[in-house]
């Protein structure tokens, strides 16, 4: 029985995992890099150990140091979160060898699914429809040309070890093929230390729809329905929702069965996600499996009514699943927005820096998973995700209205964020109608980014003017008049802002 869990991660996911452990009465151990001494997960954990310098390679990816911290603290289990070592078979194996429970699948299952080429082969053999393309790695340019001749353009050249939207190239033009092939290989080598690439057909008007699964050691596998993740930038999800507006009951049942079959094919244990690409004709193809907890798992938790981290721990303890497929249903609608410290108007460039002020949205139907606080400095070394905002509603419309309200309440100063950008998405017709695919951001480009004439300079100037006015009032008025009088200029400013298009 697990009693003490080391969380081999940082950021919002480390905080989120600690929360479930605490509810289960388990002790928690945090680990942190030198850049993360003041991070929230360090404060939340019962105890915490420094595992090395800021760069991930030397800390969050340093297996020896993490195992060292587990031994020192007497942790009997390790939860890897997402990213970092979560899909590293060596880490799962090492935990096993050290007698520490890895809260996740076996090294064998991770290897079978972690490498995208192997995963395609395994799924093809299990009868799951995969995206048409090669089942082996392509090393020669001649072969790449042959493959493209066979399957036709457009194609995606993908790194077998890819992840996080990195390591893939779309080729629409025969002229670009060779140069894209070369860059894809060198990028793959640089980013993942492995230059294996393969080629698959680019599915036009693609919808990314994935299924959450849970599998125990006793052969029970269930799915917890789908998540629609087609709002993406740079092949990475920004907004997720469940149920998917594209889904029909029969398609859900069919894809759910394939998701379960996929997990069974690799003797999977734990929580995992089967990702599919679906086109407008509702044809679907296996894309990849993520053998870990996913960034967007909270929307499933909300709609299905489970705590996926608790389920992971339950499974890791060797117990059979208590949830039964026939008892599960989707209740209402949930949306998640990923809040990034990034500048959407500048090609989504990450914006590390100090949070000077933060107001977090609350209220009915809103969940907030975050890790930053006032005065906290977002380090430049890691993913710029600072929080996730999840809204729930009885209907999709209520869920959207609630998200719009929550985004309105959410204020962060000090660093640029994508909050405004997300607010705009909540008002787009395509989104409101649920008619979108992964090209959504590109298609709505003209209305999603800040128009050029809306420089922030005039906004800054107006803010300074408001502040001067506020200071003058402070000197002028009586204390009992304070709230009314003092707030008005700011309110006015906010209200006029949209009218003036500042
Ligand atoms: P999800 O599918 O859960 O939404 P993402 O693809 O957005 O996950 O990745 C989640 C996190 O893991 C991100 O921080 C991403 O940068 C990181 N990540 C995922 N796969 C890899 C990989 N192969 N190499 C490096 N980082 C990765
Ligand atoms: P990662 O490991 O980085 O998550 P995926 O293979 O899951 O990589 O692909 C990420 C995203 O890239 C998908 O959600 C989709 O938007 C796009 N994509 C990948 N393969 C294809 C394809 N064959 N056709 C169309 N879009 C694709
Ligand atoms: Mg993926």
| 202: nearest Cα among 274, 285, 136 | 285
Best of 13, 80, 83, 91 to mutate for ligand 1, by most ligand atoms within 8 A of CB? 83
Rounded to whole angstroms, the maximal C-alpha distance in the chain is: 82
Q: Give me the sheet containing 221-233, strands edge to edge.
A: 284-290, 270-278, 207-215, 221-233, 236-242, 333-340, 385-393, 366-370
Name which CATH class applies to 132-201: alpha beta
d(CA 235, CA 423): 20
Burial class for 235, CB neighbours closer than 10 Å (0-12, 13-18, 19+): middle
Q: Quick check: 389 and 366 in contact, CB under 8 A?
A: yes
Residues 171-197 have pLDDT tens digits of 999 999 999 999 999 999 998 889 999
Q: Which long-range contacts (CB under 8 A, 24 or more apart) does 248-251 make?
A: 248/282, 251/282, 251/284
Q: Three-class SS of residue 454?
A: coil
DSSP 416-442: --SHHHHHHHHT-HHHHTT---TTHHH
Q: Three-class SS of residue 7?
A: strand
Q: Three-class SS of residue 152?
A: coil
Tell me if 306 CB under 6 Å of ligand 2.
Answer: no
Q: Would residue 353 be called left, alpha or beta, if left means φ above 0 and alpha means ψ between -120 and 50 degrees? A: left
For residue 232, the ligand 2 atom closest to its alpha carbon is 16
- Whether cis (ω within 30° of 0) applies to the bond prior to 243 is yes
Q: Quick check: 304 and 327 in contact, CB under 8 A?
A: no
Tell me if 235 CB under 6 Å of ligand 2.
Answer: yes
Best of 235, 236, 288, 291 to mutate for ligand 2, by most ligand atoms within 8 A of CB? 235
- Range(s) of the chain covered by CATH 3.30.1490.20: 132-201
List residues, by chain if needed, whose CB lies under 5 Å from ion ligand 3: 275
Distance, CA 25 to ligand 2 centroid (Å)? 39
- Whether cis (ω within 30° of 0) applies to the bond prior to 140 is no
CB atoms within 10 A of CB 264: 15
- Range(s) of the chain covered by CATH 3.30.470.20: 207-452
Q: What is residue 305's DSSP assignment?
A: I
- Sequence-distant (6+) residues with CB within 8 A of 242 are 225, 226, 227, 228, 299, 300, 303, 330, 333, 334
d(CA 364, CA 315): 31
Active site residue 292: yes
Q: Quick check: 109 and 291 in contact, CB under 8 A?
A: yes
Q: What is residue 175's DSSP assignment?
A: G
pLDDT at residue 384, as a whole number: 96
Strand 101-102 to 77-79 pairing: parallel
Tell how many helices (H) and how many strands (E) occur in the chain: 18, 22
Distance, CA 292 to ligand 1 centroid (Å)? 10
pLDDT at residue 252, as a whole number: 98
pLDDT at residue 502, as a whole number: 44
Tell me if 164 CB under 6 Å of ligand 2.
Answer: yes
**Residue 216 C-alpha from the chain's centroid:** 24
Q: Does domain 4-103 match CATH 3.40.50.2300?
A: no
pLDDT at residue 398, as a whole number: 98
CB atoms within 10 A of CB 419: 18
Angle at 271 between CA 268 and CA 272, to 5 degrees: 75
pLDDT at residue 470, as a whole number: 76
pLDDT at residue 163, as a whole number: 86
What is the CATH code of the structural domain delimited by 207-452? 3.30.470.20
pLDDT at residue 484, as a whole number: 60
Distance, CA 172 to ligand 2 centroid (Å)? 15
- Range(s) of the chain covered by CATH 3.40.50.20: 4-103
Q: At 104, phi and psi to the nearest 5?
A: 170, -175
Alpha helices in 239-387 (DSSP H): 249-265, 297-300, 308-316
Catalytic residue among 94, 120, 252, 292: 292
- Sequence-distant (6+) residues with CB within 8 A of 101 are 2, 76, 77, 78, 95, 316, 317
Q: Quick check: 157 and 204 in contact, CB under 8 A?
A: no
pTM: 0.91
CA distances from 15 to 38, 66, 309, 317 (A): 13, 17, 12, 21
**Residue 375 C-alpha from the chain's centroid:** 25
| Residues of the chain scoring pLDDT < 70 | 452-457, 459, 479-502
Residues 77-96 have pLDDT tens digits of 999 999 999 999 999 999 99
d(CA 110, CA 267): 10
């Amino acid at each position: 029985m697990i009693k003490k869990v080391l969380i081999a991660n940082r950021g919002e996911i480390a905080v989120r995992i600690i929360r479930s452990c605490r509810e289960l009465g388990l002790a928690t151990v945090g680990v942190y890099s030198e850049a993360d001494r003041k991070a929230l997960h360090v404060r939340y954990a019962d105890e915490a150990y420094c595992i090395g310098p800021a760069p991930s390679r030397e800390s969050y990816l340093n297996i020896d140091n993490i195992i060292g911290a587990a031994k020192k603290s007497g942790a009997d289990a390790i939860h890897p979160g997402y990213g970092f070592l979560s899909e590293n078979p060596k880490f799962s194996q090492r935990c096993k060898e050290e007698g520490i429970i890895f809260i996740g699948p076996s090294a064998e299952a991770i290897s079978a699914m972690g490498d995208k080429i192997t995963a395609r082969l395994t799924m093809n053999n299990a009868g799951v429809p995969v995206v048409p393309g090669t089942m082996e790695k392509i090393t020669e340019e001649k072969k790449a040309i042959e493959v493209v001749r066979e399957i036709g353009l457009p194609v995606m050249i993908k790194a077998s070890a890819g992840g996080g939207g990195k390591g893939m190239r779309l080729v629409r033009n025969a002229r670009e093929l060779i140069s894209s092939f070369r860059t894809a290989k060198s990028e793959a080598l640089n980013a993942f230390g492995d230059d294996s690439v393969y080629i698959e057909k680019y599915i036009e008007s693609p919808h990314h729809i994935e299924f959450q699964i849970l599998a125990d050691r006793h052969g029970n596998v269930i799915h917890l329905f789908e998540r629609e993740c087609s709002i993406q930038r740079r092949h990475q999800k920004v907004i997720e929702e469940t149920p998917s507006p594209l889904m029909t009951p029969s398609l859900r049942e069919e894809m759910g069965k394939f998701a379960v079959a996929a997990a069974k094919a690799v003797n999977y244990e734990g929580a995992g996600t089967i990702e599919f690409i679906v086109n407008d004709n509702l044809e679907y193809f296996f894309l990849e499996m993520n053998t870990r907890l996913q960034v967007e798992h909270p929307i499933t938790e909300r709609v299905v009514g489970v705590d996926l981290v608790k389920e992971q721990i339950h499974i890791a303890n060797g117990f059979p699943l208590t949830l039964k497929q026939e008892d599960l249903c989707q209740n209402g609608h949930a949306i998640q927005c990923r809040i990034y410290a990034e500048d959407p108007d500048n090609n989504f460039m990450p914006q590390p820096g100090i949070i000077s002020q933060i107001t977090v949205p609350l209220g009915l139907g809103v969940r907030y998973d975050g890790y930053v606080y006032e005065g906290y400095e977002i380090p430049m070394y890691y993913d710029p995700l600072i929080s996730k905002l999840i809204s729930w509603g009885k209907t999709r419309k209520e869920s959207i209205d609630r998200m719009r309200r929550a985004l309105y309440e959410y204020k962060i100063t000090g660093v640029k964020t994508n909050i405004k950008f997300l607010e705009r998405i909540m008002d787009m017709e395509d989104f409101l109608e649920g008619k979108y695919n992964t090209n959504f951001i590109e298609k709505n480009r003209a209305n999603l980014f800040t128009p050029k004439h809306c420089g922030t300079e005039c906004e800054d100037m107006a803010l300074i003017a408001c502040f001067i006015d506020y200071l003058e009032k402070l000197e002028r008025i009586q204390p009992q008049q304070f709230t009314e009088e003092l707030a008005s200029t700011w309110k006015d400013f906010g209200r006029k802002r949209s009218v003036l298009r500042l």
